[in-house]
Amino acid sequence: MLQYALRRFALAVLIVLVAVTAMFLMIRAVPGDPVQIMLGPRATPELQARLTAELALDQPIWRQLVIFYGNLLQGDLGTDVFSGRSVTNIVFQQLPHTLSLIFASILWSAALGIGLGAYAAAHPNTLIDRMTAAISVAFVAAPAFVVALLSLLIFAVNLKWFPAIGVGEGIWDKLDHLVLPAFAIGLSWVGYVARLVRASMLEVMGENHIRTARAFGISEGRIVLSYALRIAILPVVTVIGVGMGFLLSSAVFAEIVFARPGLGKLVIDSITTRNYPIVMGSVLVSTTLFVVSTALADLINAWLDPRARSEN
């Protein structure tokens, strides 16, 4: 298990390296002088020269890459062109807001989705199963920003149940501010996870080992919970791991609609102001987040499934 974990993390590091390098090269392949865009048309040649030197844009591209990785290894992502603050600081200040939003969304949507899916699979073709199916499809089809706007209108403006904007102060106030955005971006996942668990569960319940468990008089509840769900959950874990990436992009919508500080809002703001060091920094962190979450999903799968452990 330990060996598997080490190998999996080595792969994760490699993926981040490749992704970040590609991103670094792509950003420099975009036509136009970044210094001119950042400083505007009326900047003096001296100022332009200073920024060019600061961003090492006068060096050959391989050299720039070496400098970037050199700084990165020292935990330095560069400085914000406008405020002069360190990018690392800015990004890590925003990160907890986005992380709490993503975890809250995953937690409630996976819990509800697994419950609904398992129930639907245990009672296939009943009224509740059909209702779950219809609602699931509706949830999956609803885009996060539409749900965000509608829930803002209904629950914050009309019903005044939850605050409309910001992240709040203190733990309870923060949780209060988290409800609507987490609801908005988690909703489509409820349906998705429920469909996935139902299909996976029905497949597992038809397998021979379930018939064996039944032939030994083990109760149906125990068969579902400890014999079938543990296998049926495996594809869901993988999907949630990959889904972190999608949630990161839905988080952008939620952060804009609910005016929440966070990684998504940071990226959007820095792109509109052409603040390249911040774009690089926040995209690097999101890439790492995505890769770590897929690696974690694989590890959880290996922990749940002894066959996956010994295969590799």
Partner 1 sequence: MSDTLLQIDNLGVDYETARGDLKALRDITFDVNRGEIVGIVGESGCGKSTLISSILRLTAPNTRFRQGEIRFKGQDLLPLSERRMRALRGEDISIVFQDPMQTHNPVLTIGQQMLDIQHRSKASKAEKRARAAKMLGAVGIPDPEARLDQFPHEFSGGMRQRIAIAMALMSEPDLLIADEPTTALDATLEVQIIERLQELQQQFDCAILFISHHLGVIAELCDRVVVMYAGAVIESGDVREIFHNPKHPYTRRLIDCDPGHIKTRARVLPTIPGEVPDLANLPEGCIFRDRCDQALPCCAHQVPPLTQLQEGHRAACWLNHEEVSA
Query: Which residues of the shown chain bind partner 1 in the complex (CB under 8 A)?
Result: 207-209, 211-219, 222, 226-227, 230-231, 304-307, 310
> Quick check: helix, strand or coil at residue 79?
strand
**Nearest distance from C-beta of residue 225 to partner 1, angstroms:** 12
Nearest to 91 by CA among 296, 265, 292: 265
**Nearest distance from C-beta of residue 217 to partner 1, angstroms:** 4
Q: What is the Cα–Cα distance from 211 to 61, expressed in whole angstroms?
A: 63
Q: What is the Cα–Cα distance from 26 to 288, expressed in whole angstroms?
A: 18
Whose Cβ is closer to partner 1: residue 63's or residue 230's?
A: 230
**Nearest distance from C-beta of residue 244 to partner 1, angstroms:** 24
Whose Cβ is closer to partner 1: residue 190's or residue 236's?
A: 236
- Asked if 155 and 147 count as a contact pair (C-beta separation under 8 A), the reply is no
Whose Cβ is closer to partner 1: residue 226's or residue 312's?
A: 226
Whose Cβ is closer to partner 1: residue 55's or residue 234's?
A: 234
Whose Cβ is closer to partner 1: residue 130's or residue 230's?
A: 230
**Nearest distance from C-beta of residue 114 to partner 1, angstroms:** 16
Amino acid at 164: A
> In sequence order, what are the residues at sequence separation of 6 or more whose Cβ sits closer than 8 angstroms to the Cβ of residue 119?
128, 132
Residue 277, CB half-sphere, CA atoms under 13 Å: how many?
A: 28
Amino acid at 97: H
**Nearest distance from C-beta of residue 227 to partner 1, angstroms:** 5
3 exposed, middle or buried (CB, 10 Å; 0-12, 13-18, 19+)?
A: exposed
